[in-house]
Amino acid sequence: QVQLAESGGGLVQAGGSLRLSCAASGRTFASYAMGWFRQAPGKGREFVVAISRTGGSTDYADSVKGRFTISRDNAKNTVYLQMNTLIPEDTAVYYCAADTNGNSYFTFRRRLPDGYEYWGQGTQVTVSS
């Protein structure tokens, strides 16, 4: 069983920045592919970004490319999401997710919720205009 805990959400003005963290349990974090998804009220869960086991490869949704940066520290079992130039449309609950065998990253499933086995509880990000 893998537990994921997000933190760092909050209220920010448009143009501002936030840094989300996701701490994972388990001794084999370095073998997990990780992803961030978000869900706005009344909408489905939307892919934001994914990162491979080593961090050497990343995949961003077009809507966040150039503004968001994902990174990971395998020694700390943590993945980060640096969000800059935030816009009101970024308002959502942000979830981190883990694919414990890392293989979904190398297929289209890295952009789908069912490509991940474990999910955090989510952290709210609200961007005011």
Report DSSP letters for 44-113, one per residue: --EEEEEE-SSSS-EEE-TTTTTTEEEEEETTTTEEEEEE-S--GGG-EEEEEEEETT-GGGGSGGGGSG
Give the pLDDT confidence score for residue 116 in this predicted structure.
96
Question: What mean pLDDT do residues 44-72 have?
Answer: 97
pLDDT tens-place string over residues 92-102:
999 999 999 88
* Angstrom distance (rounded) from CA 98 to CA 65: 21
The values of phi and psi at residue 113, to 5°, are -55, -35
Per-residue confidence band for 43, with pLDDT thresholds at 50, 70 and 90: very high
Give the pLDDT confidence score for residue 101 in this predicted structure.
84
Per-residue confidence band for 104, with pLDDT thresholds at 50, 70 and 90: confident
Give the pLDDT confidence score for residue 102 in this predicted structure.
82
Give the pLDDT confidence score for residue 27 in this predicted structure.
81
Whether the per-residue pLDDT at 13 is higher than 90: the answer is yes
Torsion of CA 80, 92, 39, 113, to 10 degrees: -10
Measure CA 58 to chain center: 11
Residues pairing with 78 in the sheet? 23, 73
- Class of residue 94 by CB neighbours under 10 A (exposed 0-12, middle 13-18, buried 19+): buried
Whether the per-residue pLDDT at 42 is higher than 90: the answer is yes
